[in-house]
Chains A and B, each alone.
Chain A
Amino acid sequence: MSDPFRRGGLVARTARLAIPLVAAALGLAALNGALGAPEDEVKIAFIAYENPDQLLEDVKPVVAYLEQKMGRKLKYFVATDYAGVVEALRGGAADAAFMGPLQYVLARDQAGAEPVLGEVYAGKASYVSRIFVRKDSGITGPEGLRGKNIAFVDPISSSGYLYPLDIFKRAGLVPGKDEAERFFKKIYFAGGDEQAIRAVLNRFVDAAGVGQFAHNLLRPEERAEVVSIAESTPIPSHCLVVRKSLDPGLVAALCDALLALQDGPDKGLLENLYGVDGYVRVTHADYEGVEKLAREYGFLSGK
């Protein structure tokens, strides 16, 4: 999995996003002291993109806040494997989980999960991908990249592949994923947003398809050397999803508690929750674009 929209809470400033999940460790790393009847507990999964032990520490005060606000006990775990979380949602071992847009779409497909809250970063519940080229390349639009090299981030990244490639599809240049190899001379997957945008800065490739914030990873004097020539449709942000048939009252209580953070005295806890600004209510409709793309790229069974 590679989704660069994620920060890792208190290690946010150095957290790396675009790393694959380690398949082996489901990472049921620790449980809180759960009191009360098990069926009253709310079970939440947090996916760690790096350093599960750190995230485990980071979410403790958040859980304490939620317990107090909701008047219920919480059970939580940090996972490093997406598949395990989906299984947990399907089987009821997890009631809710934070995950990225593509992960949600797959969780819906495989376990009937529903999104309830979207994260807000820098005032927005979405962001975009961009195609960057060097300013001195003379390339002004996607069509100028025919027969050229491009670096994306990862084949399973929304902002680092699906959405940037969609820019070429919408421009009528690449009908589908398979035709991409005929349009470009060579496609690379750099493994990270910074690697991809530096590859274009350093002239290893002619273009990079990355999340918009990759540009800010360059030094100020470097930023002036690259320019964006196209932008994707908005990518909805990471979300809180809940399992099918979860009690609506419980869903409401959880959402209300999280929504109360951004304007209240406990706003600082948001730093522990992947460093978001706050949340907005979302529904599946907000993720239909992701679902459509995921289907086009063969991530979903056709329906």
Chain B
Amino acid sequence: MFRSRRGALLVLGGAAYLAISAYHVATTHAHVIPPEKLHRVAESYRRSSFVLNLNPILWDLVRKDCEPIAQALEKVDPVAAAAWREEVRSVIAGITAPPKEGEAAPGPNERKRAARAVFESSTRAVARILSWHLERTGKALPEIATAHTASREAGQIWAAFELEIRSTDPTAFRALGTRWLEMATALGSPGIARIGAVPVDVPAFRAAADAIAAYIAATYGPGYSAPERGALAPLPLRSPTFDPEASVPVRLPPGSDINKQVPRPRQILNLVARGVDESETALIAVGDMGFDSAFVFGEPARSLQISCNTCHNKSITNPIFVIPGLSARPGGMDVSNGFFASHANNGHFDPLDIPDLRGIRFTGPYGRNGRSASLRDFTRNVIVNEFNGPEPDPVLLDGMVAYQMEFDFLPNPALGADGRLSEKAPEAARRGETIFQRPFAGLAGRSCASCHVPSTHFLDRQSHDIGSGAGAEPHSRDGAFDTPTLLGIKHTPPYFHDGSQPTIRSVVEWFDRTATLGLSANERDDLTAYVETVGDGVDAREDTPYYLDSELEEFGFFLSAYEFLVGKGKPELMNVTFETIAGEIRNHMWELRDPQHQPVMEQMAGLMDEALAANRCGDRAAVDAKVAAWRNLYAENVDVLK
């Protein structure tokens, strides 16, 4: 059953596109009642606040995000807006100006002072904008429809502070939440062509609006200061009911997207392709679980439900993944940044494109700069020093390596085993193959094939500086990157270590230009056709937008390692397994096409919770029973859980 679900699937075609659009409608029927928009002011404030807490700070992003706040402030008080713009401009100019001759570059203290100054000033500006919108609501009366629109806008700006108030001042949050409801209710309704109109209750409106305005002014108004320690965040420090012990849940900034691409890339596991029964591959099951588990990582990745699979979706890539401040563009991130692991920041912005892990046992060394010969060391470093995870259990690490060892390239009928094109390759690709093997003076007498060696998976296990990275200083020797394979790349744009090249064609043009290859337009076309042919493969994507049944099958696979973990005496890994399955069931429950089966999924998640609790108490018999119950419940309902 597991084999068939991961077996060969149809190539993406017209039917799949329709299925996908149906899927998107099915998921976006949630937007038939659409979500509240995040107001530009709240969006910019939340995002710039996030970026101001990073190291390094992308000051260009901050500058860009201050603009909507400045524009909104202009409507309130043009003079104050001009002064605010100048203040922010001056702070950013000061911190980003190149140091004068003989002076040191700004250090951490200067950076933090600048960040704090911009943050405090932005917070006061947003508070002023919010207050103005509250006043505007009242001024719009008796035009009810206009007042509702203004009130709505005020509520959207309130979202700038809501998370911190909810988390650290729940008393005020509840009181203010009720005030917002009272305000909306008091505004009445314009009716439909005046039928069903409800008049404004002016005193009730005033009382509610004034209460909210008073809290904003007192908490974030003039004299507001950011917290002395910890992150820059709009904690309501001056509220009498503020709880200094409370913590604020971590949130990614607006504009982030850690969803996975649809349709899903097709993952090929060598053992599945060979028809192996996965119930007898316990170590690989442990590794599959670890790869998909946020609990292998530490905070904040764990709370954000980020796992290896988030970026390396189905062992491939995720071109959607983006976090403003950490990503230069979708499909990558700076993994040596302190946000996910504060101890392991290398202090400069060096985002990397997420590499495709297909065929990883053939593509060492690992890391974009080829730093690690050992996949095991590399994986451990990602866990501990990129995502702040605890030292992984040796069995878990062995499992994750064993699992990754099963990742296969896409089959490619256009290529022979030695990497040469087969007779199935198109004519343009054949011409391109000749160009690929041609020595060029611009490449010091080498050809493309010198590094992307066809007979060894189109790589050479070397690092080369091709001029694609900016050095630390003039004449630096720090720009070498590990030659990546060309297998499968047609389906994993963008390209280069940082994702700066959007297409294969643009890569060809880059080399032609940078290395002065002197290619004609036709030759560039042919070379592109060749690389695209090499980089292609059969059934690159799954043909269905519905994955719930496949996910549940995978969870069953995770659980198949239970007896092995008992035998090995690994209760902690059992805990991780139970927590992972419970969490993933809850995440995926909403994908059920027929929601009447949600109770079964809740029950399955509940059984994992109970297994976890029993395991923590050391009650082996109870855990055995819960695992058996889960397996039975799944088997009884497998046909409807999709």
Contact = CB atoms under 8 A, between A and B. Distances in A.
Interface stretch (A37-45, A60-68, A198-206, A240-248): A198-206
B173 A202 contact: yes
A99 to B, nearest CB: 10
Given A5-B32, A14-B34, A299 B145 contact: no
B256 to A, nearest CB: 13
Interface of A: 1-2, 4-7, 12-17, 19-23, 82-83, 86, 102-103, 106, 110, 121-122, 127, 151, 154-156, 159, 187-195, 199, 202-205, 210-211, 213-214, 216-217, 220-221, 223-224, 267, 275, 277, 297-299
Contacts of B151: 191
Contacts of B30: 213, 216-217
A189 B185 contact: yes
22 contacts: A5-B33, A14-B34, A16-B36, A17-B34, A19-B145, A20-B149, A21-B145, A22-B146, A151-B181, A155-B191, A159-B33, A188-B185, A199-B177, A204-B174, A205-B181, A210-B33, A211-B33, A213-B30, A216-B29, A216-B30, A217-B30, A220-B589
Contacts of B32: 4-7, 121-122, 127, 211, 213, 275
B510 interface: no
Given A216-B590, A220-B586, A7 B145 contact: no
A13 B31 contact: yes
Given A5-B32, A298-B196, A23 B181 contact: no
Given A19-B148, A122-B29, A191-B148, A204 B189 contact: no
A176 B463 CA distance: 77
Contacts of A127: 32
Interface in B550-574: none
A202 B189 contact: no
Contacts of A217: 30, 33-36
Interface residues of B, number: 47
Interface string B144-160: 11101101100100000
Given A189-B184, A203-B174, A220-B589, 13 more contacts: A13-B31, A13-B34, A14-B37, A15-B31, A17-B33, A21-B192, A187-B185, A191-B151, A195-B184, A213-B30, A275-B25, A275-B32, A297-B196
A194 B587 contact: no
A17 B31 CA distance: 10
User: Closest 4 interchain pairs by CB?
Assistant: A216-B30, A20-B145, A122-B29, A83-B193
Nearest to A152: B185
Among B36, B152, B182, the most chain A Cβ lie within 10 Å of the Cβ of B36
A102 B192 contact: yes
Interface string B28-49: 1111111111000000000000
Contacts, number: 155
B34 A20 contact: no
Contacts of A199: 177, 181
Interface string B585-608: 011011000000000000000000
Given A122-B26, A188-B181, A221-B586, A156 B145 contact: no
Contact of B192 (A13, A106, A211, A275): A106
A226 B522 CA distance: 61
A23 B590 contact: no
Nearest to A154: B189
A131 B329 CA distance: 42
A224 B586 contact: yes
A82 B184 contact: no
A301 to B, nearest CB: 10
Contacts of B241: none
A221 B590 CA distance: 10
B33 A4 contact: yes
Nearest to A211: B33
Contacts of A298: 196
Nearest to B147: A20
Contact of B189 (A14, A17, A189): A189
A255 B187 CA distance: 40
A79 to B, nearest CB: 12
B182 A188 contact: yes
Interface in B21-70: 21, 25-26, 28-37
B196 A192 contact: no
A105 to B, nearest CB: 10
Contacts of A156: 189, 191-192, 196
Contacts of A214: 33
Contact of B184 (A7, A159, A190): A190
Nearest to B146: A22
Nearest to A277: B25
B178 interface: yes
Contacts of B148: 19-20, 191
Contacts of A15: 31, 34
B521 interface: no
Contacts of A220: 586-587, 589-590
B195 interface: yes
Given A22-B146, A199-B177, A12 B182 contact: no
Contacts of B479: none
A221 to B, nearest CB: 7
Interface in B118-172: 143-146, 148-149, 151-152, 155, 166
Contacts of A187: 185
B198 interface: yes
Contacts of A151: 181
Contacts of B174: 202-204
B190 interface: yes
Contacts of A1: 190, 192
Contacts of A192: 36, 152
B189 A155 contact: yes
B192 A213 contact: no
Nearest to A162: B196
B152 A194 contact: no
A299 B28 contact: no
Nearest to B31: A13
A106 B181 contact: no
A76 to B, nearest CB: 21
A20 B190 CA distance: 7
Contacts of B189: 2, 20, 154-156, 189
A194 B36 contact: yes
Contacts of B589: 220
Nearest to A14: B37
Contact of A213 (B29, B36, B143, B166): B29
B312 to A, nearest CB: 22
B33 A193 contact: yes
Interface string B570-584: 000000000000000
B113 to A, nearest CB: 35
Contacts of B21: 267
A262 to B, nearest CB: 11
B215 to A, nearest CB: 15
Contacts of A277: 25
Contacts of A224: 586
Given A82-B192, A195-B184, A23 B36 contact: no
A7 B188 CA distance: 24
